[in-house]
Amino acid sequence: MHELGWVEGRTVVIEVRWAEGRIERFAEIAAEFVGRKVDVIVSSGSPTEAVKQVTSVIPIVFVAGDPVGSGYVATLARPGGNATGLSIQTPDLAGKRLELVREIVPGLRRLAILANVDMRVAVLEMGEADTAARTFGLDVVRLEVRRAEDITPAFESLKGRVDALYVTTDPFINTNRIRINTLANVARLPTITGVREYVEAGSLMSYGPNLTDLFRRAGDFVDKILHGAKPGDIPVEQPTKFDLIINLTTAKALGLDVPPSLLARADEVIE
């Protein structure tokens, strides 16, 4: 926003709220913003649904997983309504992530998929990951969680039945990523995700859009709307930069050899 000429505190006021991974806070924060009659609401992922439910008037700029599948927009080219933004193509990338983890775990036969089933976008991604896994001939175990208290029992239910873990993208899961990675590594489960923060917290690898780039581009949408453009007329954009991050320390701890060809393709290797 600064690069586009906006000066915080002078020409624009930015109010920031964080739900701390608590789903029940989404609606509360959305209602607060509506009550304050803000000019634009920027949301990330699952909270967009809560914002859409409380206003059909205030423009919304989202950075979301599957805006069409989640019902945020009619189509990417013609969003309609009061929302537009950037898709992170989370469900579409499930197959690619499985291809990558199979390069490190060539004997992969059984896969667990962890998702917060209270979030529509996570359920969509779980379905895509399940479909992709079955095309590779993998057996699938779905781990459905809703609360932090569900995570440990979910892992205990596996009891060595799977060879790897696919973690869907969701604010609740992200908040609990250290616990999830700890349990996965203790169970010696290679983990593939879509967000680099998971890898920084000990996950084996991630592949997905560069979120910093997406949020920077979201500023362009806000700028256009503040200058009078209607969100429904601004096409939803898709990612242009994808990052492959590998945690080599985790790979060594799990006794896995990362192929040199895969390391060469990585955007970042954590050692």
Share of the chain above pLDDT 70, in %: 99
21: alpha, beta or left, given left = phi > 0 and alpha = psi -120 to 50?
left
Give the whole-angstrom CA distance, residue 1 versus residue 138: 45
- Mean pLDDT across the stretch 201-223? 93
pLDDT category of residue 172 using cuts at 50, 70 and 90: confident
Domain 91-208+243-270, second-level architecture: 3-Layer(aba) Sandwich (3.40)
Cβ(111)–Cβ(158) under 8 Å?
Answer: no
Same fold across 24-89+210-240 and 91-208+243-270: yes
Tokens found for residue 87: 């898709």
Give the whole-angstrom CA distance, residue 88 versus residue 65: 5
Q: What is the pLDDT of residues 79-105, one digit of tens each?
A: 999 999 998 876 678 999 999 999 999
* pLDDT for res 44: 84
The model carries a pTM of 0.84
Kindly tell me if the per-residue pLDDT of 140 is higher than 70: yes
- State the Cα angle at 52 between 62 and 70, rounded to 5°: 70
Give the whole-angstrom CA distance, residue 12 versus residue 30: 19
AA letter at 131 = T
Q: What is the pLDDT of residues 45-88, one digit of tens each?
A: 778 888 999 999 999 999 877 788 788 899 999 999 999 999 88
Sorted by where each begins, the domain ranges of the chain are: 24-89+210-240, 91-208+243-270
* pLDDT for res 45: 75
* pLDDT for res 90: 65
Give the whole-angstrom CA distance, residue 42 versus residue 61: 5
Gyration radius from the chain CA atoms: 19
Kindly tell me if the per-residue pLDDT of 21 is higher than 80: no
In terms of residues, how long is the chain? 271
* pLDDT for res 167: 97
Domain 24-89+210-240, second-level architecture: 3-Layer(aba) Sandwich (3.40)
* pLDDT for res 66: 78
Kind and range of the H or E run holding 67 = none
The closest of 225, 240, 235, 216 to 1, measured between CA atoms, is 216
Name which residue leads in pLDDT, 20 or 63. 63
AA letter at 42 = V
* pLDDT for res 47: 81
Name which residue leads in pLDDT, 120 or 126. 126
* pLDDT for res 188: 95
- Mean pLDDT across the stretch 207-229? 93
The closest of 140, 122, 120 to 130, measured between CA atoms, is 140
Tokens found for residue 149: 């208290």
Name which residue leads in pLDDT, 47 or 30. 30
Sheet hosting strand 60-64, strand order edge to edge? 41-44, 60-64, 83-87
Q: Average model confidence (pLDDT) for the chain?
A: 92
